[in-house]
Structure 1
Amino acid sequence: MTARLGERTSPVRRIERWSLPGLRISIGVVFVWFGLLKVTGSSPVAELVGAAVPWVDRGLLVPALGWFEVVLGVALLLGRLPRLTLGLVVAHLAGTFVVFVQAPALVMTGGNPLLLTANGEFVLKNVVLICAALVLLGQARERRAA
């Protein structure tokens, strides 16, 4: 719906208009930022990443993962290939939970999943990012169908 000349759009309409792009852009910024930290060797989670995938050399894995995150983040920022990008974002974020199986001591205290370490909290917040990406993915599918 478009506003008539002289009418102001309501705050609710503005929120509806900007919330999904804001969500997409904010996830994009997080992916670029965290990815660049990995690429530059400044990531505080490099040990966690290495422990999650111990069969891959951490010196190769962390920067490669960082570049992958940067590419996903830039694609989100540009709004390019939204269904593919968001699908990869969801898969990537879901993959972070492998650390609960591969290195539980880094994410839980005494093996208790209710007593998370700071690393465990960092990984668990990905549930919210996954849900946000799924909302955007659903919206992208709706748009395509329309």
Structure 2
Amino acid sequence: MKNWQVLFERVDMLITNWMARYGIVLLRMSLGVVFFWFGVLKFFPGLSPAQDLATRTISLLTFGVISPSVSIIILASWECVIGLGLILGVFTRATLFLLFLQMFGTLMPIVFFPKEVFAEIPYAPTLEGQYIIKNLVLISAGLVIGATVRGGRVIADPRADRLAQHAR
């Protein structure tokens, strides 16, 4: 039985170390793909399920100064820039700033259009509401990536973590 436990521990350690080594990079790149993909969709009218809600939200946030036809191009470009910044790993702080600013805007339909976001307020989101609520995961991913912009890393080994804690 001990041989299986030793084998399990070794395999578990290898997998955990691999996740710690590559997890943040893969998170950053996959988040970038999502932003780039959704941004590109917005360049083609009718392909983005959130297009109408997004343009009306931007119109309210800008007091009608930015028209829907202009706002969708700005939003599409904005999301593509975020996506490219994350995929390429360049200008990460600026990219995350744009991401968090954009995420603020994506949550505003909950305030501005609650009857379109929820079939039953506040517990039964519509499809658009689900689209908005999933942004909590994107925000959290941005926070995790942001925690590493100064060179921090995920530590898989609990002993190394304890040493790092004492080094502060």
TM-score range relative to shorter protein: 0.7 to 0.9
1:127-146 alignment to 2 at 5 Å? 127-143=136-152
Find the aligned partners of 1:141 and 1:50 in 2 and give their Cα distance.
35
CA RMSD of aligned residues (A): 1.7
How many corresponding residue pairs?
Answer: 135
% same residue: 33
Q: Residue 112 of structure 2 aligns with which residue?
A: 102
Q: Residue 58 of structure 1 aligns with which residue?
A: 68
Moved over 3 A (4+): none
Find the aligned partners of 1:51 and 1:115 in 2 and give their Cα distance.
22
Counterpart selection for 1:86 from 64, 71, 96: 96
Q: Residue 15 of structure 2 aligns with which residue?
A: 11
**Structure 1 gap ranges (5+):** 1-7
Q: Residue 157 of structure 2 aligns with which residue?
A: none
Q: Is the radius of gyration larger for structure 1 or structure 2?
A: 2
Contact 2:40 2:80 (C-alpha < 8 Å) held by counterparts: yes
After TM superposition, the score normalised by the length of structure 1 is 0.85
- SS where residue 123 of structure 2 aligns? strand
- SS where residue 147 of structure 2 aligns? helix
After TM superposition, the score normalised by the length of structure 2 is 0.74
1:109-143 deviation per Cα after TM superposition (whole angstroms, max 9, x unaligned): 25x11121111111011111101101100111344
Q: Residue 52 of structure 2 aligns with which residue?
A: 47
**Structure 2 gap ranges (5+):** 1-10, 153-168
- SS where residue 113 of structure 1 aligns? coil
1:65-93 deviation per Cα after TM superposition (whole angstroms, max 9, x unaligned): 00111011001111001112112212211
Find the aligned partners of 1:26 and 1:107 in 2 and give their Cα distance.
26
